[in-house]
């Protein structure tokens, strides 16, 4: 990766800085090189920025297996722990200490950081709960709520004055559930983030629990059989999207050649056990994860949606996945689109709760979904070096004057809201408050996410719109609430070469429901360069 220092500081590091300042004990370095130095042994990142500038006092560990390239250099650079087992360092560091290539003070410093973290964790440790707390009633209830709060409703068209969602359970006699993922306990990634809950409620399980004999299920992706089932249904729910085969951590093949790379550690029982499990996983699926080369749905999913839409005007599409999925051209033809992400162990019940109106989808997009894949940065899959720039996602769409299909922060609920009377407090260091009246203009209670954007002049060469704060609020039907949003001017700062600078002047501040919201309410924030200058 090649990246200019100002772009690195302004675009790619802020979220790490925010997390570190909130308090973390460990940071993991990346695999790739940054400006010519591998991240696992990059002193500029691991020591100069992370520790000296941000004040991080925990320990740094590598990504798992081959997360560093020079064992000796990595210690001095600020890398504390090679993961997940002694590999390169075990073979190299003793001799390096003996001949002076590695300073004992550097090795001891890395050890002290790990020990300090272990002692700190022990001091903060709470009594270990009994095993039966896992997947307890309380946990299942929380998993169900989280899935509902995170799901994003992207489209909800009305027909004869009635929106497609929610479905009136008492008014329907037949609901068709279709698609190859409807009956799958799809948890997403099967790499490092894989979890194995004792049970997973699929969307089929969740809807069958509620609808019983009213539910007709046709699995697979055959458009003919799906259309036949949907033709006479009051509503057709089509579940499409991705799984661990399509995205997530890429699992490579495990064979004799690859185990040799691990050296003698492959003989140890714990390591060998992991390798056997990994080989079985890869053999079963043939391929796993990695980067998607196409952001659209599988062609068979699109064909299924098209076939069902032609015979049932109340086609509701539930999309499963962990990132951007381009929905064009089929989304304009369906009645509703619900982005459920990977909804977890209680996901089937959560989707049923949303579709049948027990609760609303309360999520908002943390990304922008373009109309076309070509609207996003294009990838050279054969490149050995890539330059990271400023322009991607909503920022690139804004710069190019291209409207997103679904912009950053977008999401519908089962009620409607209006914003009014925005007032912006004075700047205090890097922070200010924005207060806004949120009115629920609908006939049922609901959540609304107030998003505050600051707008820079278009001639700065930097992104114009910056999300500086947001807050979710629950408002009763036909009621209003005064909401105070804590905001930061950090996204407006530019890197001067030595520190961050906040330019003086008047900044337009908008309270909105999503990026580019035409109904946004505007106020002005006056920034003096001395208010937030010199922040690092």
User: What pLDDT, in 10s, does the model give residues 308-357?
Assistant: 999 999 999 999 999 999 998 899 999 999 999 999 999 999 999 999 99
Exposure string over 374-406, b if 16+ CB within 10 A, otherwise e: ebbeeeeeeeeeeeeebeebbbbbbeeeeebbb
Question: Tell me, what's the pLDDT at 161?
Answer: 87
Q: Which domains does the chain have, with CATH numbers?
A: 5-124 (3.20.20.300), 155-244+292-372 (3.40.50.1700), 256-285 (no CATH), 415-532 (2.60.40.10)
Q: What is the pLDDT of residue 481?
A: 98
Among 431, 294, 273, CA closest to 373: 294
Task: Quote the Cα angle for 247-248-254, to 5°.
Answer: 105
Q: Please give the share of the chain, as a percent, with pLDDT higher than 70.
A: 91
Q: Give the total residue count for the chain.
A: 536
Whole-prediction pTM value? 0.91
What confidence tier does 228 reach under pLDDT thresholds 50, 70, 90?
very high
- Secondary structure in 3-state letters for 361-423: CCCCCCCCECCCHHHCCCCCCCCCCCECCCCCHHHHHHHHCCCCCECCCCCECCCCEEEEEEE
263 pLDDT more than 80: no
Average pLDDT rounded to a whole number, residues 134-163: 95
Let me know how many helices (H) and strands (E) the chain has, helices first. Answer: 15, 21
- pLDDT digit string (tens) for 459-486? 888 899 999 999 999 999 999 999 999 9
36 by DSSP, 3-state: which? Answer: coil
Backbone φ and ψ for 28, nearest 5 degrees, come out as -100, 135
Q: How far is CA 369 from the centre of its chain?
A: 13
| Count of CA atoms in the C-beta half-sphere (13 A) of 408 | 18
What does the pLDDT average to over 163-182?
A: 98
Task: Please check the confidence at residue 277 and state whether its pLDDT lies above 80.
Answer: no
Q: Higher pLDDT residue, 239 or 193? A: 239
pLDDT at 108: 98
Give the count of beta carbons closer than 10 Å to the beta carbon of residue 160. Answer: 4
Q: How high is the mean pLDDT of the chain?
A: 92
Per-residue pLDDT band at 534 (split at 50, 70, 90) = very low
Q: What is the pLDDT of residue 313?
A: 97
- Predicted confidence at residue 284, as pLDDT, reads 54
Q: 101-115, 207-221, 244-258, 487-501: which range is least confident on average?
A: 244-258
In angstroms, the CA 207 to CA 229 distance is: 16
Neighbours of 506 (CB within 10 A): 9
pLDDT in tens, 377-422: 988 989 999 999 999 999 999 999 999 999 999 999 999 999 999 9
Does the pLDDT of residue 531 top 50, yes or no?
no
How far is Cα 447 from Cα 234, in angstroms, rounded to an integer?
Answer: 28
Q: What is the pLDDT of residue 536?
A: 29
Distant-in-sequence contacts of 530-535, Cβ < 8 A, 24+ apart: 531/427, 531/428, 531/429, 531/502, 532/427, 532/429, 532/430, 532/489, 532/493, 532/502, 533/501, 533/502, 534/499, 534/500, 534/501, 535/429, 535/430, 535/490, 535/493, 535/499, 535/500, 535/502
What pLDDT digit, counting tens, does each position of 33-69 carry?
A: 999 999 999 999 999 999 999 999 999 999 988 899 9
The neighbour count for residue 277, using CB atoms within 10 Å, is 11
């Amino acid at each position: 990766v090649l990246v200019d220092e100002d772009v690195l500081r302004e675009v790619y590091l802020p979220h790490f800085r925010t997390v570190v300042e909130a308090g973390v004990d460990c940071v993991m370095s990346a695999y790739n090189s940054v400006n010519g130095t591998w991240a696992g042994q990059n002193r500029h990142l691991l020591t100069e920025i992370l520790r000296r500038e941000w004040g991080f006092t925990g320990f740094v560990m590598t990504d798992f297996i081959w997360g560093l390239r020079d064992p000796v250099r990595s210690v001095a650079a600020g890398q504390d722990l090679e993961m997940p087992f002694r590999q390169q360092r075990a073979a190299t560091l003793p001799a390096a200490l003996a001949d002076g290539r590695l300073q004992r003070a550097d090795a001891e410093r890395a050890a002290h950081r790990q020990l300090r973290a272990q002692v700190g964790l022990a001091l903060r440790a709470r009594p270990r709960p009994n095993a039966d707390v896992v997947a307890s009633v309380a946990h299942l209830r929380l998993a169900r709520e989280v899935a509902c709060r995170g799901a994003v409703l992207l489209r909800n068209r009305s027909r004869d004055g009635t929106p497609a969602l929610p479905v009136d359970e008492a008014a329907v006699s037949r609901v068709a559930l279709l698609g190859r993922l409807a009956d799958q306990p799809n948890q997403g990634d099967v790499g490092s983030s894989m979890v194995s809950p004792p049970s997973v409620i699929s969307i089929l399980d969740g809807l069958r629990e509620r609808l019983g004999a009213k539910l007709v299920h046709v699995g697979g992706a055959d458009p003919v059989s799906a259309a036949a089932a949907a033709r006479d249904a009051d509503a057709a729910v089509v579940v499409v999207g991705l799984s661990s085969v399509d995205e997530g951590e890429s699992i490579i093949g495990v064979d004799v050649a690859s185990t040799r790379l691990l050296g003698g550690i492959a003989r140890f029982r714990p390591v060998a056990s992991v390798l056997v499990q990994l080989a079985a996983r890869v053999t079963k699926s043939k391929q796993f994860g990695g980067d998607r080369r196409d952001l659209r749905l599988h062609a068979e999913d699109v064909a299924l949606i098209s076939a069902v839409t032609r015979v049932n005007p109340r086609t509701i599409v539930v999309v499963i996945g962990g990132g951007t999925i381009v929905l064009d051209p089929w989304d304009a033809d369906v009645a509703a689109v619900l982005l459920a992400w990977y909804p977890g162990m209680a996901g089937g019940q959560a989707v049923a709760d949303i579709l049948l109106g027990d609760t609303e989808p309360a999520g908002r997009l943390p990304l922008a979904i373009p109309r076309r894949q070509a609207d996003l940065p294009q990838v050279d899959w054969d490149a050995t070096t890539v330059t990271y720039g400023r322009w991607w996602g909503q920022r690139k769409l804004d710069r190019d004057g291209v409207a997103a299909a679904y912009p950053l922060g977008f999401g519908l609920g089962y009620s409607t809201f209006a914003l009014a009377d925005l007032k912006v407090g004075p700047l205090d260091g890097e922070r200010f408050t924005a207060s806004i009246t949120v009115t629920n203009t609908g006939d049922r209670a609901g959540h609304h996410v107030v998003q505050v954007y600051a707008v820079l002049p278009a001639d700065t060469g930097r992104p114009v719109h910056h999300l500086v704060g947001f807050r979710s609020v629950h408002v009763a039907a036909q009621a209003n609430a005064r909401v105070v949003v804590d905001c930061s001017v950090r996204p407006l700062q530019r890197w001067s070469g030595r520190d961050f600078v906040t330019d003086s002047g008047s900044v337009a501040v908008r309270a909105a429901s999503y990026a580019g919201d035409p109904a946004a309410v505007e106020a002005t924030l006056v920034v003096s360069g001395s208010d937030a200058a010199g922040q690092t």
